[in-house]
Structure 1
Amino acid sequence: MSRWLRSRLPAHLVPSRIAVLDAIPLGTTGKADRAALAAWVFDRGSAEYAAPRTEAERLVAEEVAAAFGLPGIGVHDRFSESGGHSLAAARAVTPLRESTGRVVTLAEFLSDGTVAAVARRLADAPAAAPSSALEENPSRESYPLTGTQRDLWTLAQLGSTGTATTVAWRLRLRGRVSVPALRAAADGIVARHEVLRGTIGDHDGEPVMVVGPPVPVPVDVHDLRGLADADRRAGELATAAARHAFDLTEDTPLLRITLLRLADDVADLIVVSDHIATDGASVGVLMAELAGAPVASFAQVGAVALRERALAEVPGERDRPAAYWSGELAGAIPPDALFDRVVHGRRRFAGERISTPLPESLGSAVRALAESTGVTPFAVYLSAMGGAGRRTGAGQGRAAGNGGRAPGPARARTHVGPLVDVLPVRLRLGADTSFRDLLRAAMTTAAHAIDHRGLSSGELTALWGGDRPAGVPLTPVSIAVQPDGVPLSAHGPDTRLDLLGELPTGGSRTPLTVFVNATVDGAELIVEHDPSWRAPCRARWFTRSLLHLLHAAVVHQPRHRQAARRAQPVRHGRAGRGALRCDRRESPSLGHRVSRRSRLMAGSAFSNNFDQGRRPRSLVGSARSR
Structure 2
Amino acid sequence: RNATEEKLAEVFALVLRVERVGIHSDFFSLGGHSLLATQLVSRVRAAFGAEVPLRALFEAPTVAALAERLRTATSGPRLPPLTRATYEGPPPLSFAQQRLWLLDQLQPGSAAYNIPAALRLKGQVDVEALRRAFEALVARHETLRTTLVQHQGQPAQRIHSPSAWTLPVLDVSSLPEAQRDEEARRLANLEARRPFDLEAGPLLRTSLVRLGDAEHLLLVTMHHIVSDGWSMGVLVRELTALYAAFHAGQVPTLAPLSVQYADFAIWQQEWLQGETLETQLSYWKEKLAGAPSALDLPTDRPRPPVQSHRGATVDVRFPPEVSQALKTLAQREGATPFMLLLAAWQLLLSRYSGQDDISVGSPIAGRTQAETEGLIGFFINTLVLRAQLNPRATFRELLAQVRGTTLAAYEHQHVPFEKLVEVLQPVRDLSRSALFQAMFSLQNTPIEALRVPGLSFEQHPLESNSAKFDLTLTLQDSSQGFIGVLEYSSDLFDASTVQRMVGHLGVLLEAIAAKPDATLASLPLLTAPERQQLLVEWNGPSAEFPRDLCLHDAFAAQALRTPDALAVICREEQLTFRELDTRANQLAHRLVRLGVGPDVRVVLCVERSVEALVGILGTLKAGGAYVPIDPSYPREWLSHVLLDTGAPVVLTQQRLRDSLPPHAAHDICLDSDADSLSREALEAPVTSVTPEHLAYIIYTSGSTGRPKGVMIQHRSVLNLRVALAATVHSDAQTAERVSVNAPLSFDASVKQLIQVLDGHTLCIVPDEARADVRELVHRIGQDALDVLDCSPAHLRLLVDEGLLESQSIPRRVLVGGEAVDPATWRHLAQVPRPRVFNVYGPTECTVDATACAFDASPTPTIGRPLPNVRVYVLDRTLRPVPVGVAGELFIGGEGVARGYLNRPELTADRFIPDAFSSTPGARLYRTGDVVRWRADGMLDYLGRADFQVKVRGFRIELGEIEACLLGHPAVHAAVVLAREDVPGDKRLVAYLVPEEGQSLDATEVRSFLKQHLPEYMVPSAFLVLESLPLNTNGKVDRKALPAPQGTALASTYVAPRTPAEEQLAALFIQVLRVERVGIHDDFFALGGHSLLATQLVSRVRATFRVELPLRALFEAPTVAALAGRIQSQTPSLRLPPLTRLQVEGPQPLSFAQQRLWFLDQLTPGDASYNLPTALRLTGQVDVESLRRAFEALVARHDSLRTTFHEH
Partner in structure 1 of residue 400 of structure 2: 440
Contact 1:148 1:418 in 2 (8 A): yes
- Among 932, 935, 960, the alignment partner of 1:583 is 935
Rounded to whole Å, the distance in 2 between the matches of 1:377 and 1:185 is 37
Are the counterparts in 2 of residues 403 and 425 from structure 1 also a CA contact under 8 Å? yes
Aligned to 2:25: 77
Which structure 2 residues correspond to residues 106-185 of structure 1 after superposition, within 5 A? 106-136=54-84, 142-160=90-108, 162-185=110-133
Aligned residue runs from structure 1 range 534-545, under 5 A: 534-545=493-504
- Specify whether residues 122 and 546 from structure 1 end up closer, same or farther in structure 2 by C-alpha distance, changes over 3 A only: same
2:366 pairs with 376, 399, 408, which one? 408
1:480 and 2:441 are equivalent in the alignment: yes
Aligned to 1:261: 210
Q: CA offsets, 1:8-40, max 9 Å, x none?
A: xxxxxxxxxxxxxxxxxxxxxxxxxxxxxxxxx
TM-fit CA distance, 1:359: 4.2
Structure 1: state its 5+ residue gaps.
1-52, 586-617, 619-626
Matching of residue 387 in structure 1 with residue 347 in structure 2: yes
SS, match of residue 363 in structure 2? coil
TM-score when scaled to structure 1? 0.75
Q: Which residue does 1:611 correspond to in 2?
A: none
Residue 399 of structure 1 aligns with which residue?
357
Query: Post-superposition shift, 1:297?
Result: 4.7
- Post-superposition Cα deviations, 1:490-533, rounded to whole Å, max 9, x if no partner, equal 112332444445x3453332222111146899863211122234
Q: Is the 8 A contact 2:60 2:66 kept in 1?
A: yes
Match of residue 571 from structure 1: 884
The aligned amino acid for 2:204 is L
Distance apart, 1:279 and its partner CA:
1.0
- Equivalent-residue separation in structure 1 for 2:524 and 2:59 (angstroms): 33
Q: Distance in 2 between matches of 1:264 and 1:558?
A: 59
Shift of 1:345: 6.1
Cα gap change, 1:572/1:514 in structure 2, threshold over 3 Å: closer, same or farther? closer
SS in 2 for 1:214: coil
Q: What are the residue-to-residue correspondences of 1:448-527 with 2, within 5 Å?
A: 448-464=408-424, 466-470=426-430, 472-483=433-444, 485-487=446-448, 489-500=449-460, 503-517=462-476, 524-527=483-486
User: Which residue identity is paired with 1:570?
Assistant: V
**Aligned-pair distance for 1:427?**
1.2
Paired amino acid for 2:265: A
Whole-Å separation in 1 of the counterparts to 2:504 and 2:70 = 44
Tell me which amino acid in the other structure corresponds to 2:113: T
Q: Which amino acid aligns with 2:216?
A: A
The structure 1 residue matched to 2:327, chosen from 363, 367, 376, is 367
Q: Distance between the aligned counterparts of 2:18 and 2:501, measured in 1?
A: 39
Q: Does 1:331 align with 2:331?
A: no
Instruction: Please give the alpha-carbon distance, in whole angstroms, between the structure 1 residues aligned to 2:394 and 2:368.
Output: 32
The alignment of Structure 1 onto Structure 2 pairs a total of residues equal to 525
**SS state of the match for residue 486, structure 1?**
coil
Deviations 1:111-168 (A, max 9, x none): 2211222222223333233533332469977322122111111122222551121111
Deviation at 1:339, TM superposition (A): 5.1
Q: d(CA) in 1 for partners of 2:374 and 2:295?
A: 37
CA–CA separation in structure 2 for the residues paired with 1:527 and 1:175: 34
Distance 1:525-1:555 versus aligned 2 partners, 3 A rule = farther
Deviations 1:416-437 (A, max 9, x none): 1121111100112112332233
Cα displacement string for residues 17-66 of structure 1 (whole angstroms, at most 9, x for unaligned residues): xxxxxxxxxxxxxxxxxxxxxxxxxxxxxxxxxxxx23433343333332
Compute the displacement of 1:537 (Å): 4.0
CA distance in 1, matches of 2:170, 2:78: 51
> Relative to structure 1, is the Cα distance of residues 308 and 72 closer, same or farther in structure 2, using a 3 angstrom cutoff?
farther
Report the aligned-residue RMSD.
3.4
1:284 aligns with 2:233: yes
Are residues 241 and 223 of structure 1, via their aligned partners in 2, closer, same or farther at CA, if it must alter by over 3 Å?
A: same
**Displacement of 1:302 after TM fit?**
1.5
Q: In structure 2, what is the Cα distance between the partners aligned to 1:110 and 1:473?
A: 30
* Structure 2: stretches of 5+ with no match in the other structure: 245-251, 531-880, 888-929, 938-952, 954-1207
The one-letter code sitting in structure 2 at the alignment partner of 1:491 is: R
Which stretch shows the higher mean deviation, 215-224 or 275-284?
Answer: 215-224
Q: What is the distance in 2 between the residues matched to 1:209 and 1:387?
A: 41
Distance 2:256 2:330 in 1: 33
Map 1:336-351; keep pairs closer than 5 Å. Answer: 336-338=295-297, 340=299, 346-351=306-311
> Would you say the 8 A contact 1:86–1:407 is kept in 2?
no
Conserved 8 A contact 1:224-1:262: yes
Summarize the Cα distance change of 1:89–1:107 in structure 2 as closer, same or farther, 3 Å threshold.
same
Mapping of residues 243-322 of structure 1, within 5 Å: 243-252=193-202, 254-291=203-240, 292=243, 295-298=254-257, 300-313=260-273, 316-322=275-281
Contact map agreement 1:145 1:208 (CA 8 A) in 2? yes
- Partner amino acid, structure 2, of 1:478: M
Paired-residue identity, %: 27
- What is the CA deviation profile of residues 357-415 of structure 1, one whole-angstrom value per residue up to 9, with x for unaligned ones? 454444444433333332222112212211211222x12x4434534333422352322
Residues 124, 326 of structure 1: alpha-carbon distance in 2 compared, 3 angstrom cutoff? farther
Asked whether the 8 Å contact 1:345–1:472 carries over to 2, the reply is no
- Provide closer, same or farther for how the CA distance between residues 74 and 551 of structure 1 changes in structure 2, counting only shifts above 3 A: same
Shift of 1:233: 2.5
TM-score (norm 2): 0.41
Superposed CA offset, 1:176-227 (max 9, x none): 2232222222222211111111111123332111101234245342334652
- One-letter code of the match for 1:205? G
Deviation digits for residues 74-121 of structure 1 (CA, Å, limit 9, x no counterpart):
221111111210000001112323443433211221122112222222
Bigger radius of gyration: 2
Aligned partners of 2:172 and 2:180 also within 8 Å: no
The Cα offsets for residues 216-267 of structure 1, whole Å up to 9 and x where unpaired, read as 2453423346523333232222211110100101111x22223233443232
For 2:236, give the aligned amino acid: M
User: Per the alignment, in what secondary structure is the counterpart of residue 44 of structure 2?
Assistant: helix
**Contact in 1 for aligned 2:109/2:197 (Cα 8 Å):** no
Question: Which residue is equivalent to 2:190?
Answer: 240
Could you say if the C-alpha distance between residues 77 and 440 of structure 1 is closer, same or farther in structure 2, counting changes exceeding 3 Å?
same
Residue equivalent to 1:209: 157
Equivalent positions of 1:32-71 (< 5 A) are 53-71=1-19
Q: Aligned partners of 1:285 and 1:584: how far apart in 2?
A: 49
Taking structure 1 as reference, are residues 399 and 240 closer, same or farther at Cα in structure 2, changes over 3 Å only? Answer: same
Specify whether residues 156 and 424 from structure 1 end up closer, same or farther in structure 2 by C-alpha distance, changes over 3 A only.
same
Deviations 1:317-352 (A, max 9, x none): 123211211211111114421253785764322222
CA distance in 1, matches of 2:183, 2:482: 25
Give the structure 2 partner of residue 19 of structure 1: none
Q: How does 1:423-434 map to 2 (within 5 A)?
A: 423-434=383-394
Task: Confirm or deny: 8 A CA contact 1:335 1:400 kept in the other structure.
Answer: no
Q: Paired residue for 1:200, among 136, 148, 152?
A: 148
The amino acid across from 1:322 in the alignment is L
> Secondary structure at the residue paired with 1:142?
coil
